């Protein structure tokens, strides 16, 4: 098999495109291996622009885990911008990896990480440029296995015809198991070709091979059932859970790009999973249970990650970072260790309470003060009960008052619009809340010179959440509410001037909703959009609502359904959902009960601190909550007084 570099051809095109550095590789942490010395070869793709894809933790972790195996090679590929795409087509340059500029079609696996469904059209571009047939059924033994992972793969049905396989859940161990299966199959002389390899993957019961399942529909358009079309594959495919994050301390050697990217920091996950139970949050539902990384492993990773990368910022990531059982000691310990070094520490994704301000104070000891962001998500007490975001207005006011009186001049507040049962008044209350924040903040700070920013996004119901049955709100209603909120904010000129307002139109959310909860029939819509030029749908300057509406109107009536059917229609309990055969561990009856509780504005506790509420994940996945405290502390670092000269 050939695996020559396409760089000589690509190089001629690079002077003609914008930001050519994103296509040349050469990052610190990048690995280039001898092709012929390896057996299993992965091309990992984050299907968005390099500047977004490079910092992605998932890809970096899998890249490192795979390359640590002696006979496995992993390289990376990203979506190319339209300027380069046009030149590649003109000059016959295929989709390439940035590491050794090899053609993607030469690899055994093309692994795509979908954080969001809006990357689907970019997958088509990559497949097409790679000369890999778009549909799984048209691929031959010379084509890579096209494999999806990431949160969107918990419902891969809209792209099922274009995937060979999908992995649900944590990838660290899955990629090694898949490599093992490919290694063995190759060693045996590739018996049974591609079909046998896919069968071996499916038999793990945790790798979904869509072509082995048939979907039957009822006359009214709903799904009747999804069943295996052969006897030797499981009825349901289960997600993966990596237990003991201390045993998987990746990334150890983070990729450090030369190009400018969206995050320039060493990011370390301090825990995975979240049991706060916010009903809109797919990440919190599908990543259960909570698994903490210990304070000492975090300390070690930060030390080595900074030494390796030279980054000057550390992000302590998770779905709700302040909930780590030793977050206080972790923050004060790290702040102590890096005092006077110009290293800044940040704690994104935190909850609304004053404890956060203490942590932020601790982290800003170095003098660099990062912004404070809180996410009440809903404007009224009522809607916050619906979504199970247990924050009262008093909590929020107390928190921001603490922030303003401790010297912060600006806080950001995140909200959503279009939530189930939402009324105009729920949204209007966001404006009144922002007014109260400014009033209380001015009093606390003793100055009028404080600000807050209200940032509001459209709600998209996601699979495997209690809102998977919920109707979406129409874009025109969302847009009207957003405009009304602006008027409420500006109804008091003095307060309104201190409030920044950022929002997104309702239209892209509706399309994201179509892709999130779609079934296999939606695949034809995505393909049509791509054929009509759809690219980079996560970018407002590239997204075209009209293109999606037109493609949906062209394709869906043939199936007896339409865009509304997938988006603004409420599902009932009996309906077979497109992802019911994909097991996130959550008990569907429990999700339904939580949806009913939501409608009656009844809140659910967090099982970390209260008894189990039977979501179903731990028993069905044979997992359990892993939390501290360990009682350990971070020790002072020995200052480096000498140049690090390589031996």
Partner 1 sequence: MGGQAPVVQRIRIRYAKRGPLRFTSHRDFARAFERALRRAAVPIAFSQGFTPHPKISYASAAPTGVGSEAEYLEIGLQAEVDPAQLLTALDAALSPGLDVLEAVPAGEGSLADRIDASRWLLELPSVDPAVAAAAVKSFLGAAEVPVERMTKQGRRTFDARPAVTHIAVTEQSDLPSGAFAAPCAIIDLVVRQVTPAVRPDDVLSGLRVVAGLEPPVPPRVTRLAQGTLTPQGEIVDPLDADRAAIGGR
Residues that bind partner 1 (CB under 8 A): 7-8, 11-12, 14-16, 19-21, 23-28, 256, 258-260, 264, 306-312, 342, 367-368, 640-646
Q: How far is the CB of 634 from partner 1 (least distance, A)?
A: 20
Going by C-alpha positions, the residue among 333, 346, 325 that lies closest to residue 303 is 333
**N- to C-terminal Cα distance for the chain?**
38
Which residue's CB is nearer to partner 1, number 26 or number 533? 26
Which residue's CB is nearer to partner 1, number 342 or number 573? 342
Which residue's CB is nearer to partner 1, number 17 or number 488? 17
| Cα–Cα distance, 11 to 21 (Å, whole number) | 11
**Nearest 5°: phi and psi at 410?**
-145, 130
How are beta strands 145-149 and 372-377 bridged, if at all? unpaired
Which runs of E-coded beta strand occur in 287-371?
291-292, 313-317, 344-346
| Cα–Cα distance, 90 to 10 (Å, whole number) | 12
Which residue's CB is nearer to partner 1, number 14 or number 134? 14
Which residue's CB is nearer to partner 1, number 10 or number 499? 10
Copy the structure tokens of residue 621. Answer: 């996945």
Q: How far is the CB of 144 from partner 1 (least distance, A)?
A: 25
Q: How far is the CB of 359 from partner 1 (least distance, A)?
A: 21
| Cα–Cα distance, 533 to 547 (Å, whole number) | 9
Going by C-alpha positions, the residue among 522, 645, 638 that lies closest to residue 578 is 522
Which residue's CB is nearer to partner 1, number 13 or number 485? 13
Which residue's CB is nearer to partner 1, number 187 or number 640? 640
Per-residue CA distances from 456 to 95, 253, 375, 486, 502 (Å): 37, 36, 10, 11, 6
Q: Output DSSP code: residue 414.
A: E
| Cα–Cα distance, 560 to 63 (Å, whole number) | 43
Q: How far is the CB of 643 from partner 1 (least distance, A)?
A: 4
Q: Are 452 and 411 in contact (CB under 8 A)?
A: yes
Which residue's CB is nearer to partner 1, number 27 or number 161? 27
Q: How far is the CB of 299 from partner 1 (least distance, A)?
A: 18
Q: How far is the CB of 293 from partner 1 (least distance, A)?
A: 24
Which residue's CB is nearer to partner 1, number 222 or number 369? 369
The sign of the torsion formed by the CA atoms of 428, 431, 437, 438 equals negative
Q: How far is the CB of 96 from partner 1 (least distance, A)?
A: 12
Q: How far is the CB of 8 from partner 1 (least distance, A)?
A: 8
Which residue's CB is nearer to partner 1, number 27 or number 537? 27
The strand order across the sheet containing 344-346 reads 266-269, 313-317, 344-346
In a 13 Å sphere around the CA of 189, the CA atoms on its Cβ side amount to 0
User: Which residue is it, tokens 């008027």?
Assistant: 487
Going by C-alpha positions, the residue among 140, 135, 150 that lies closest to residue 47 is 150
DSSP readout, 45-108? EESS-HHHHTT-HHHHHHHHHHHTSTTEEEEEEEPPPHHHHHHHHHHTPPPB-TTT-BBGGGSS
Length of the chain: 647
| Cα–Cα distance, 105 to 88 (Å, whole number) | 15
**Nearest 5°: phi and psi at 214?**
-110, 145
Q: How far is the CB of 28 from partner 1 (least distance, A)?
A: 6
Q: How far is the CB of 548 from partner 1 (least distance, A)?
A: 35
| Cα–Cα distance, 123 to 148 (Å, whole number) | 10
Q: How far is the CB of 6 from partner 1 (least distance, A)?
A: 12
Q: How far is the CB of 526 from partner 1 (least distance, A)?
A: 33
Which residue's CB is nearer to partner 1, number 227 or number 258? 258
Which residue's CB is nearer to partner 1, number 306 or number 427? 306
């Amino acid at each position: 098999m050939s695996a020559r570099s396409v760089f000589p051809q690509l190089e001629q095109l690079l002077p003609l495109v914008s930001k050519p550095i994103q296509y040349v590789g050469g990052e610190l942490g990048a690995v280039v291996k001898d092709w012929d010395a390896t057996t299993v070869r992965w091309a990992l793709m984050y299907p968005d622009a390099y500047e977004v894809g490079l910092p992605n933790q998932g890809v970096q972790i899998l890249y490192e885990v795979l390359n640590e195996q002696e006979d496995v090679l992993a390289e990376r590929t990203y979506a190319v911008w339209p300027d380069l795409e046009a030149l590649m087509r003109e000059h016959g340059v295929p989709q390439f990896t940035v590491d050794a500029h090899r053609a993607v079609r030469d690899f055994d696996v093309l692994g795509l990480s979908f954080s969001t469904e809006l990357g689907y059209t970019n997958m088509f571009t990559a497949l097409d440029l790679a000369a890999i047939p778009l549909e799984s059924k048209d691929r031959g033994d010379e084509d890579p296995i096209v494999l999806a992972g990431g949160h969107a793969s918990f419902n891969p049905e809209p792209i099922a015809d274009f995937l060979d396989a999908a992995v649900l859940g944590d990838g660290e161990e899955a990629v090694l198991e898949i490599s093992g299966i490919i290694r063995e199959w190759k060693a045996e002389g590739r018996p049974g070709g591609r079909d046998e390899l896919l069968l071996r993957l499916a038999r793990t019961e945790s790798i979904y091979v869509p072509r082995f399942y048939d979907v039957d529909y009822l006359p009214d358009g709903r799904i009747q059932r999804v069943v295996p079309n052969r006897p030797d594959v499981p009825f349901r495919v289960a997600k993966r859970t990596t237990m003991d994050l201390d045993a998987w301390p990746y990334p150890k050697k983070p990729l450090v790009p030369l190009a400018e990217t969206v995050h320039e920091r060493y990011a370390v996950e301090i825990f995975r999973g979240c049991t706060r139970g916010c009903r809109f949050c797919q990440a919190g539902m599908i990543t259960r249970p909570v698994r903490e990384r210990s304070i000492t492993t975090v300390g070690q990773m930060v030390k080595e990650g900074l030494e390796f990368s030279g980054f000057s910022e550390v992000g302590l990531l998770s779905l709700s970072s302040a909930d780590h059982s030793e977050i206080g000691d972790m923050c004060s310990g790290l702040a102590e260790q890096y005092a006077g070094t110009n290293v800044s520490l940040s704690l994104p994704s935190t909850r609304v309470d004053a404890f956060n301000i203490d942590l932020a104070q601790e982290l800003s000891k170095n003098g660099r003060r990062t912004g404070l962001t809180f996410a009440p998500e809903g404007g009224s007490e009522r809607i916050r009960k619906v979504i199970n975001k247990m924050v009262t207005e008093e909590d929020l006011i107390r928190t921001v008052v603490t922030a303003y009186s401790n010297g912060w001049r600006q806080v950001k507040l995140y909200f959503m619009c279009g939530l189930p049962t939402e009324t105009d008044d729920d949204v209007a209350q966001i404006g009144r809340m922002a007014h109260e924040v400014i009033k209380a903040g001015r009093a606390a700070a003793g100055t009028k010179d404080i600000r807050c920013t209200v940032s509001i996004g459209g709600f998209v119901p996601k699979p495997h959440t209690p809102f998977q049955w919920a109707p979406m709100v129409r874009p025109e209603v969302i847009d009207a509410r957003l405009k009304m909120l602006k008027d409420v904010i500006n109804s008091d000129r003095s307060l309104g001037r201190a409030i920044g307002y950022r929002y997104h139109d309702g239209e892209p959310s509706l399309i994201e909703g179509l892709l999130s909860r779609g079934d296999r029939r939606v695949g034809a819509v995505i393909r049509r959009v791509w054929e009509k030029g759809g690219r980079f749908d996560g970018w407002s300057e590239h997204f075209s609502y009209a293109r999606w509406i037109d493609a949906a109107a062209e394709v869906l009536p043939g199936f007896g359904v339409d865009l509304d059917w997938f988006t603004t229609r409420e599902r009932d309990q009996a309906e077979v959902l497109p992802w019911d055969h994909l097991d996130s561990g959550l008990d569907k009856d429990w999700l339904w009960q939580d949806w009913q509780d939501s409608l009656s504005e009844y809140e659910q506790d967090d099982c970390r601190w209260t008894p189990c509420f039977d979501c179903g994940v731990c028993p069905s996945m044979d997992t359990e909550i892993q939390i501290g405290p360990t009682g350990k502390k971070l020790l002072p670092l020995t200052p480096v007084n000498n140049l690090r000269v390589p031996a």
